[in-house]
Amino acid sequence: MQKIGEIGNNPQKPDSGEYWTGNHQEIFAEVIYLNKTAQSQTINVDIKAEAKKPENAKSPAQVAAPPKPTKKEEDKPKGKCYCYLQGIVDTACNGKGNAVTDKHFESLAKDIGVEAKVFKAVAIVESGGRKSFLTVNGEQKAKILYERHYMYRFLKKIKTQEELDKLKKNTPDLVHNIGTYKDKNAKYGSEKEQFEKLKKAKEIDNDSAIKSCSWGKFQVMGKYYNYLYGSPNEMEEAMNMCEVQHFAYFKVYLKDVTGASMIKAMKEKNWNKIAELYNGPDYAINKYHTKMKNQYEKL
C-alpha cells in the first residue's frame, strides 16, 4: 500500500490504487471498455444479360416495395446510449438513461461472491444516502466533488511552474498542490458549488477539469475516463445521463482496482478494512466503518 500522495505502486499502471484521506470519500476505479461491434455480411450477386427493355419501362427495382427494416435496424439507438454501446444492455435507452436496481447489486453479488447488502450499505454511505443526480440550471447533472490538487497535478504536465504558481495564487480553490481536505482554511462548498468550480476550471483546461472530479453515485474519479470512454467529455455526458454508468465504474473498481483485498474485506464484512480502502487510514474520524455496519444492519 502506497503512502499518502504517492501515485500507485505498479509501474505498468502507475495511477492504480491511489487513494486519499480526509473528511470525505474518494473512490478510484479503472473501468474496462467493452465495445459492441457489428459484422457486415457479404452478398454475392450473379449478373446475367437481360433482353433490352422499352425506353419507358420501369425496372423491378423501381416498382418493388421498399424492404422492411431488419430487427437490428429497428433496434438501432436513436440517441446515444453508453450502456448499449458497451454491451451492458440489449435495448438502447435512446439517451434517457437507466437507474441502478436491486438486480444490478444481486448480479454483482453472484459474480464475485459478496452479499448484495454489503454493496448497498457501502453505496449508501459513500453517496451520503442522497440521489445520484442534481438539477443545475434546469439540467440533470451527476453529483461531483471537485478536487483542486488533482487539477494541479494534471496542469503540471502542460503548464510551466510559473503558470502554476500564478494559478495557485489567483485561484486557490481551483488549483492547488494541497488537497482541500488537508487545508483547514479551504472548503469544498455546497454540492451545487462544485459545478461552478468545474465550469471555471474548464476555462483553464477542459480535460484536466473533468478528470479532477469524482463522479456519480459511487464517486469514481474522472481521471480513469479512458478505460471506458473516448474522451473526458464523453465520460461527463454518460455520467450526467445514466446511473447504470455509475455502477459500471463501481463494478470494475471492486473487481480490477482494489481486487482481492476489497473483495476479501467485503466477504468477511470487515467494515474497518472496507472503510480504510475507500477513505484512507483516517476513515475513523468520520466513523465510516460504523456507518457502513449500521446501514448494513438496517437493510
**Among the listed residues 230, 229, 237, 232, the one whose alpha carbon sits nearest the alpha carbon of residue 201:** 232
Cβ neighbours for 19, distance < 8 A, ≥ 6 positions apart: 26, 28, 277, 278, 279, 280
pLDDT of res. 78: 54
Single-letter amino acid code for the residue at 108: L
What residue has cell string 483542486?
Answer: 148
Res 101 pLDDT > 90: yes
Q: How confident is the model at residue 224 (pLDDT cuts 50, 70, 90)?
A: confident
Q: What is the mean pLDDT of residues 62-89?
A: 60
Q: Which of 3-7, 26-30, 40-44, 131-135 has the lowest mean pLDDT?
A: 40-44
Res 58 pLDDT > 60: no
Q: What is the mean pLDDT of residues 236-261?
A: 87
CA distance 214 to 222: 6
Res 140 pLDDT > 80: yes
**DSSP 8-class letter at 283:** G
Sign of the four-CA dihedral 128, 106, 30, 98: negative
**Among the listed residues 121, 104, 112, the one whose alpha carbon sits nearest the alpha carbon of residue 263:** 112
Res 23 pLDDT > 50: no
pLDDT of res. 41: 37
Single-letter amino acid code for the residue at 86: Q
The pLDDT tens digits of the residues spanning 169-180 come to 999 999 999 999
Q: What DSSP assignment string belongs to 171-203?
A: -TTTS-SS-GGG-TT-----HHHHHHHHHHHHH
Q: Which helix (H) or strand (E) holds 213?
A: strand 213-215
CA distance 132 to 129: 9
Of 63 and 247, the one with more pLDDT: 247
CA distance 226 to 15: 13
In the sheet where 213-215 sits, what is the strand order?
Answer: 144-146, 213-215, 220-221
**Among the listed residues 188, 222, 224, the one whose alpha carbon sits nearest the alpha carbon of residue 206:** 222
CA distance 205 to 55: 64
Q: Which of 26-30, 37-41, 77-81, 103-107 has the lowest mean pLDDT?
A: 37-41
Q: What is the mean pLDDT of the chain?
A: 79
For residue 145, give the 3-state DSSP assignment.
strand
CA distance 103 to 109: 10
pLDDT of res. 9: 44
Res 39 pLDDT > 90: no
Given a contact cutoff of 8 angstroms between Cβ atoms, the answer to whether 117 and 149 are in contact is no
Other beta carbons less than 10 A from residue 31's beta carbon: 24
Res 69 pLDDT > 60: no
Res 31 pLDDT > 90: no
Of 161 and 13, the one with more pLDDT: 161
Res 67 pLDDT > 90: no
Q: What is the mean pLDDT of residues 121-134?
A: 85
Displacement of CA 146 from its chain's centroid (Å):
14
**DSSP 8-class letter at 255:** I
Single-letter amino acid code for the residue at 225: Y
Q: What is the mean pLDDT of residues 213-242?
A: 89
Q: How confident is the model at residue 203 (pLDDT cuts 50, 70, 90)?
A: very high
Of 297 and 67, the one with more pLDDT: 297
pTM (predicted TM-score): 0.70
